[in-house]
């Protein structure tokens, strides 16, 4: 395939857009960043006329595909009613109700515009609830690109320190220190309890399934034990389900794994391509936001068209039809890849679920 048209477009665009892209995560595409002209169903069309099957799902959000009629119709209808109001709409209440009906850990909801923003609210809530300042995150887990949490996402092993006591590694130049952040290895209970015994940890944030780095599943009993320890030591447990929420199942990873956190971060599949995220959780924590003790704001939170799309997306997911289809097609893809790798003599391991999985090579 020829992708030279995309290369020329990106180079020309770099005259006005720094680096020719508007997210640093789009630079790693090979042979070069792509420029698209249209998208429909499971296909993308680029400026070179290439028709590509989309396995990337817009980095995760497009669970229902690029043109689900229900979502498109809802967004178009809302365009004739309102775009953005400095107040509330009925759609956001309906969307919140659907979230609470679908996700085990969602008693109350606050919508945001990005997962990175929602994580910051969760940190504030954990600190306000516990009157402590330190937070725990894990090597390889990603919780947004803000300074206080963008640490040890993909650290260089030569600078990351010992496996059981890693050295926090900054993710970018110009980053403030992470003095209140403790970085630990995942899937190790003892290192968590050793930290919690000090009585100074406000919260633990983790991906319940580690899909940002290699598709690593929690060891049997690991999440249950983390839940137990957080309760024992008065530490807030936060699941970052931006990737897994509504994608692994209609109830997210927590619905499949049977462990309920105190707070959950949602995004991506929540609105099938519209800029919607959320922090949800137990009333005792979310009321800190509701009562104004913890500040959460945003001009574009619950933008009208995005909320209409959120309602339509969640109603489709709740119906069970999308996951029934994904169970068939995703399973077939996993089995097909495994068969091809085996036939070619390639050592491999496929880890995950039909809706999201990783392939590892030995």
Active site residue 200: no
Active-site entry in 46, 142, 150, 353: 142
Rounded to whole angstroms, the Cα distance separating 70 from 60 reads 19
Active site residue 268: yes
Neighbours of 127 (CB within 10 A): 18
> Which 3 state secondary structure label does DSSP give 316?
helix
Which stretch of DSSP H or E encloses residue 122?
helix 115-130
- Given a contact cutoff of 8 angstroms between Cβ atoms, the answer to whether 208 and 259 are in contact is yes
Residue 307 token pair: 């909320």
Residue 263 token pair: 């707070």
Rounded to whole angstroms, the Cα distance separating 1 from 34 reads 12
- DSSP strand pairing (181-184 vs 43-46): unpaired
CA 128 to chain centre: 24
Active site residue 131: no
> Which 3 state secondary structure label does DSSP give 136?
strand
Active-site entry in 46, 137, 240, 353: 240
Catalytic residues, by residue number, are: 142, 240, 268
């Amino acid at each position: 395939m020829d992708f030279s048209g995309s290369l020329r477009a990106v180079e020309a665009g770099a005259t006005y857009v720094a680096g020719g892209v508007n997210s640093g995560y789009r630079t790693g595409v090979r042979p070069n960043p792509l420029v698209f002209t249209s998208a429909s169903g499971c296909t993308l069309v680029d400026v070179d006329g290439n028709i590509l099957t989309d396995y990337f799902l817009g980095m995760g959000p497009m669970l229902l595909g690029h043109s689900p009629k229900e979502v498109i119709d809802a967004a178009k209808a809302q365009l004739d009613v309102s775009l953005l109001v400095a107040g509330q709409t009925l759609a956001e209440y309906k969307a919140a109700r659907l979230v609470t009906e679908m996700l085990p850990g969602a008693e109350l909801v606050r919508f945001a515009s990005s997962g990175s923003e929602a994580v910051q609210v969760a940190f504030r809530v954990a600190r306000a609830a516990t009157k402590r300042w330190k937070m725990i995150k894990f090597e390889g887990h990603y919780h947004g690109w803000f300074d206080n949490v963008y640490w040890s996402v993909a650290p260089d092993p030569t600078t990351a320190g010992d496996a059981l006591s890693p050295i926090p590694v900054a993710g970018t130049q110009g980053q403030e220190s992470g003095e209140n952040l403790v970085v630990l290895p995942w899937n190790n209970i003892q290192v968590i309890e050793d930290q919690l015994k000090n009585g100074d940890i406000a919260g633990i944030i983790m991906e319940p399934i580690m899909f940002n780095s290699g598709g690593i599943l929690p060891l049997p009993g690991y999440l249950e034990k983390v839940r137990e320890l957080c309760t024992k030591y008065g530490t807030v447990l936060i699941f970052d389900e931006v990737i897994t929420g509504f994608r692994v199942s209609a109830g997210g990873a927590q619905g499949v794994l049977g462990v309920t956190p105190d707070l959950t971060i949602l995004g991506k599949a929540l609105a099938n391509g519209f800029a919607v995220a959320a922090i949800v959780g137990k009333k005792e924590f979310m009321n800190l936001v509701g009562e104004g003790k913890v500040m959460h704001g945003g001009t574009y939170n619950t933008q009208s068209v995005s909320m209409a799309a959120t309602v339509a997306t969640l109603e489709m997911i709740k119906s069970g039809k999308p996951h029934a289809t994904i169970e068939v097609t995703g399973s077939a893809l996993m089995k097909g890849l495994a068969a091809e790798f085996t036939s070619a003599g390639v050592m491999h391991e496929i880890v995950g679920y039909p809706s999201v999985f990783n392939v590892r090579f030995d």
